Chains A and B, each alone.
Chain A
Amino acid sequence: MSSPNLIDDLANDLAPVEPPRGVAPSSLSWLLLGWTAVVLATMASGTFRPGVGEQLASAPRFVLESVVGWAVGAAAIWAAMAGGIPGNGSTAKRGWAVILLAASWAAIVAAGLVWPLFPPSMAGKRYLCHLETVLFAVPPLILALAMMRQRLSLEPRWTGFLMGLAAGSIPALIMQWACMYDPLHVLKLHLAPALLVAGVGWLIAPRFLPRI
């Protein structure tokens, strides 16, 4: 088919379409819904760690750790949504920036191995926290995939990785408030599963996201 014929066909096939919602409103909607889903799931499966409120009020480093953890999720979903608009910059470059932020989060937690934040305690321990982290990340990941289907990512693996990291970071952070606090436990059973969810996102995104 020559281009004039194709142009006629495409013009005749034209139907009105809705432009995508902005990156910021989409990211905020996702954060709101994702956090609500994970908080509800966490409360349905147990309680938050006794005394976590006092810990947040008394330990600025714990607040910093929590803020950075929240920022990882927010930055990751923003980067994924921004990458869903062709020509809006490199998703891979944004991805590396988010990885750096996630590494900072892990580094702040790891600092607790040398300079303990709280006295050793098993208070609040959830025996299946690693599985809960992965399972609770599923609804936000599905929501992110559904929202990204309204967009077009030309780097679907990076977008999938970022969506997975964003989804995994929510339960990983909530587990820091709900489950026992020990740096090694947090790294192995809260943050590592979040990274696993990011890997799942990397693997499945090309299959679920629209292609051109």
Chain B
Amino acid sequence: MVKAQKGDSEAYRELLGELDRVLRSYLRRILGDAGLVDDGVQETLMAVHKARHTYEASRPFRPWLVAIARHKAIDLLRRGRTPTGGAASDDTDGHLAGSSENRPEAGLEVARLLDGLPASFREAIVLTKIQGQTVEEAAGKAGVSTTAMRTRVHRGMRQLRKVLEGEPL
């Protein structure tokens, strides 16, 4: 990264290629869905590019990268974004890149993360962020007010952030 900060594009290309592999593995554990992982990797690479001036050579690189990757992963989960469904990406670490239906372990990882949440928060996140329902629809299904559902989603995401902070890269 220090070379990249000085403008060495070859070193930078090599670094980004390495980050692509590391991020893909990290985000697959968190996001599960292959489309979301592709989006997450690309958004994180762009964020790394935009934030490269904030890296200090005297500090370790890994925490800097993890903070940015986690921020983008949470951002993606919060937006409840659907995958772009664009061209299939290279699967550099030898696993088949597919949806979570094709890769049950990805779904299991997401379930494991959600298991750490109280039932009401888990339900709120599953309904809104995974099934893609609106807050109003989710509130109707859970039998609570929309304000209560919004609160549950917000608190659930906050707890999920804490769980993710403990996830290794």
Which A positions have Cβ atoms within 8 angstroms of B?
1-4, 6-8, 10-20, 22, 84-88, 150-152, 154, 212
Q: Check B54–A151 contact: CB distance below 8 A.
A: yes
8 Å CB contact of B56 from A12, A13, A16, A19: A19
Q: Check B42–A86 contact: CB distance below 8 A.
A: no
Q: Check B4–A14 contact: CB distance below 8 A.
A: yes
Chain B interface helix/strand/loop/mixed: helix
- Identify 6 residue pairs between A and B in the complex whose beta-carbon atoms are under 8 Å apart, listed by A's number: A14-B9, A18-B5, A19-B55, A19-B56, A86-B71, A212-B72
B105 within 8 A of partner (CB) = no
Tell whether A11 pairs with B63 under 8 Å between CB atoms, given A2-B89, A152-B51.
no
Q: Check B59–A7 contact: CB distance below 8 A.
A: no
Tell whether A3 pairs with B66 under 8 Å between CB atoms, given A11-B12, A15-B7.
no
* A19 to B55 Cα, complex, angstroms: 6
Q: Check B45–A10 contact: CB distance below 8 A.
A: yes
Q: Check B7–A14 contact: CB distance below 8 A.
A: yes
8 Å CB contact of A6 from B42, B53, B67: B42
* A84 to B51 Cα, complex, angstroms: 11
Chain B residues, CB < 8 A from A152: 51, 54
* A85 to B1 Cα, complex, angstroms: 15
* A144 to B65 Cα, complex, angstroms: 25
8 Å CB contact of A154 from B6, B52, B67: B67
Chain B residues, CB < 8 A from A13: 49
* A27 to B114 Cα, complex, angstroms: 40
Instruction: Tell me the minimal C-beta distance from A164 to chain B in angstroms.
Output: 22
Chain A residues, CB < 8 A from B4: 14
Count the A-B residue pairs with Cβ separation under 8 angstroms: how many?
A: 102
Most buried by B among A13, A22, A85: A85
Which B positions have Cβ atoms within 8 angstroms of A?
4-10, 12-13, 16-17, 20, 38, 41-42, 45-47, 49-57, 59-60, 62-68, 71-72, 86-90
Q: Check A6–B52 contact: CB distance below 8 A.
A: no
Q: Check A3–B20 contact: CB distance below 8 A.
A: yes
Q: Check A212–B59 contact: CB distance below 8 A.
A: no
Tell whether A87 pairs with B66 under 8 Å between CB atoms, given A1-B42, A6-B45, A6-B46.
yes
Closest B residue to A14 using CB positions: B9
Q: Check B5–A19 contact: CB distance below 8 A.
A: yes
Instruction: Tell me the minimal C-beta distance from A48 to chain B in angstroms.
Output: 40
* A17 to B87 Cα, complex, angstroms: 32
Chain A residues, CB < 8 A from B47: 212
Closest B residue to A16 using CB positions: B7
Q: Check B64–A85 contact: CB distance below 8 A.
A: yes
Chain A residues, CB < 8 A from B13: 7-8, 11
Q: Check A3–B89 contact: CB distance below 8 A.
A: yes
* A178 to B67 Cα, complex, angstroms: 44
* A3 to B38 Cα, complex, angstroms: 8
Q: Check B41–A85 contact: CB distance below 8 A.
A: no
Chain B residues, CB < 8 A from A6: 42, 45-46
* Minimum-distance CB pairs A-B, first 9: A87-B63, A16-B7, A87-B67, A17-B53, A86-B67, A212-B47, A11-B13, A87-B64, A7-B16
Q: Check A212–B53 contact: CB distance below 8 A.
A: no
Tell whether A1 pairs with B86 under 8 Å between CB atoms, given A6-B42, A16-B5, A154-B67.
yes
Chain B residues, CB < 8 A from A12: 9
Chain A residues, CB < 8 A from B65: 87
